[in-house]
Amino acid sequence: MDFLDALRQQLGPDAIIPPGEPMASYLTERRGLFADRPVLAVVRPADSAGVAAAVRSSAEHGIAVIPQGGNTGLCGGAAAGTGDRAIILSLERLNRIRAVDADNFSVTAEAGCRLSAVQAAAAAVDRLFPLSYAAEGECQIGGNLATNAGGMNVLRYGNARDLTLGLEVVLADGRIWNGLRALRKDNSGYDLKDLFIGAEGTLGIITAATLKLFPAVRERATAIVGLESAESAVALFGMLRAESGDSVTSCELMGRQPLAFAIDYADGCAEPLPARYPWYLLIELTSSAREAGLGRRLERALSAAPAGTGDYRIADDADEAAAFWRLRNGIPAAQKGAGASIKNDISVPVADMPAFMDAAARIVRAACPGVRVCAFGHIGDGNIHFNLTRPETMTDADFLAEWDPLTAKVHDTVMAYNGSFAAEHGVGQLKPGEVSRLKDPVEQDLMRRLKSALDPTNHLNPNKVVPPAGD
């Protein structure tokens, strides 16, 4: 029997979308870099056993499996490669919250649950699931884990990896590893779960996860601060962490350039402070305690802030806090209004971020005079979106033709500061070349050994993350 017929018989007719039927939403790809590549079928099992059956059958037929969640990734990890004999395996029907345990501060969710659904399940028992970022209404928790998603609350709560207690994973040969433990301490063997988290479906397919919850947030204080330099942001961040009792949840840096873009091109954005500054910091403290006094604490800390801290404004209410956040969240769209951008998802140690940004700006300006550096993002994590917007006098097309050489210069500078060229968006099929070019060969060898050990026939999301040997 043909591969697809056999799968249809095993998984039911709803589970298979063959070519010819509408599958556009599975083949589109957010950046348009890897869109519309043909696959044999989209396969949508209803449960973990169905995922296991599809993977087993694909292994037997030598067919590649490309796992896909909400398809919101930015590096093509969930898109087909070129010339693969592949299926897209959508996890979207595995969308049950299996358990919520308020006393254990944990939730068990299937891979296809939207991130917002996991957040809602936690909120329903007065708990917080802190993973949060722009795509949270579309992305799925399986994809969040496969890419070790970051987002807005990392500095307080960690990345997706740090939020995970246990996993259920379908292995390359179709066996299911049941590692859904809800334990805070377990040293009864190797740490398997962290191998699958962030591996983008190349070592196994995550079908469910047990995740940490936290007490629900009851109080919040938000401020925007003008700064003379990026160095002052680092100093202020360290001071605020200490003085607030480590309740800084967000610490977002914005250069004047991206702030100006937001004011010019994004809806509902206005100058936040009377004077203009080269840098701005958006700070949010949160607490699960009632009457935590965060506003008072923030006021006291900011009024005694280190040199280089300028004027500041603490939001009077939720509306004003939302206005501050509109500035930050308006930047990605506003950038488009200013012309084509080359985006970089990089990190360096927090304390080195100012020096890195200086060095990288100098280098890209020398290579492309007039380029507008549009740096903003999670300074508290050392993770800045070091984006480059085209010079005012250059066409989009001419500028985008510089993508590879300019990106290489930024990544080279990142490596000089012991940073990462893939901070929170992963590697996918966008950056294996950079893995090969920039990572220590010893580390690449370790990655290949793990890939061979767990997927010896290389049919789980091939050609993603790990560059071929000798590349």
**Among 290, 392, 393, 470, contact with a copy of itself (rule: CB under 8 A):** 290
Site string for a copy of itself, 292-331 (x = CB under 8 A): xx---x----------------------------------
Place of tokens 């983008």: 200
Run of H or E including 169: strand 164-170
Residues 155-214 that bind a copy of itself (CB under 8 A): 155, 158-159, 161-162, 171, 175-192, 194-195, 197-199, 203, 214
Residue 348 as a binder of a copy of itself (CB under 8 A): the answer is yes
Residue 466 as a binder of a copy of itself (CB under 8 A): the answer is yes
**Among 18, 133, 228, 238, contact with a copy of itself (rule: CB under 8 A):** 238
**Among 71, 287, 341, 387, contact with a copy of itself (rule: CB under 8 A):** 287
Residue 245 as a binder of a copy of itself (CB under 8 A): the answer is yes
Residue 241 as a binder of a copy of itself (CB under 8 A): the answer is yes
Distance CA 430, CA 84 (A): 16
Token reading at 421? 């060229």
- Report the 10 Å Cβ neighbour count for 113: 28
Residues 418-437 that bind a copy of itself (CB under 8 A): 418-427, 431, 434-435
Site string for a copy of itself, 115-144 (x = CB under 8 A): -----------x------------------
Which CB, 260 or 282, lies closer to a copy of itself? 282
- Listed residue (324, 333, 141) closest to 250, CA to CA: 324
With CB under 8 A, what is the number of residues at the site for a copy of itself? 100
Token reading at 184? 């805070």
- With contacts defined by CB under 8 A, name the span among 79-87, 282-290, 320-328, 393-401 that binds a copy of itself: 282-290
Which CB, 104 or 263, lies closer to a copy of itself? 104
Distance CA 21, CA 23 (A): 6
Q: Answer for the pair 455, 418: CB distance below 8 angstroms, yes or no.
A: no
Residues 25-84 that bind a copy of itself (CB under 8 A): none
Which CB, 39 or 68, lies closer to a copy of itself? 68
Residue 3 as a binder of a copy of itself (CB under 8 A): the answer is no
Residues 371-400 that bind a copy of itself (CB under 8 A): 378, 380-383
CB of 288 to a copy of itself, least distance (A): 5
Specify the pairing of strand 41-43 against strand 86-90. Answer: parallel
Token reading at 436? 């090969």
CB of 383 to a copy of itself, least distance (A): 5
CB of 339 to a copy of itself, least distance (A): 28
- Listed residue (299, 407, 413) closest to 353, CA to CA: 413
Distance CA 224, CA 264 (A): 18
The packing angle between helices 3-11 and 48-61, to 10°, is 170
Phi-psi region of 159 (alpha: psi -120 to 50; beta: other; left: phi over 0): beta
Amino acid at 359: A
Residue 205, judged by CB atoms within 10 A of its CB (0-12, 13-18, 19+), counts as: buried
**Chain CA centroid to CA 256, Å:** 24
Q: 392: which residues sit within 8 A by CB, 6+ positions away?
A: 339, 370, 372
Q: Answer for the pair 250, 282: CB distance below 8 angstroms, yes or no.
A: yes
CB of 419 to a copy of itself, least distance (A): 7
- With contacts defined by CB under 8 A, name the span among 22-30, 80-88, 341-349, 388-396 that binds a copy of itself: 341-349
**Among 350, 361, 406, 430, contact with a copy of itself (rule: CB under 8 A):** 350
- With contacts defined by CB under 8 A, name the span among 17-25, 104-112, 251-259, 356-364 that binds a copy of itself: 104-112
CB of 289 to a copy of itself, least distance (A): 4
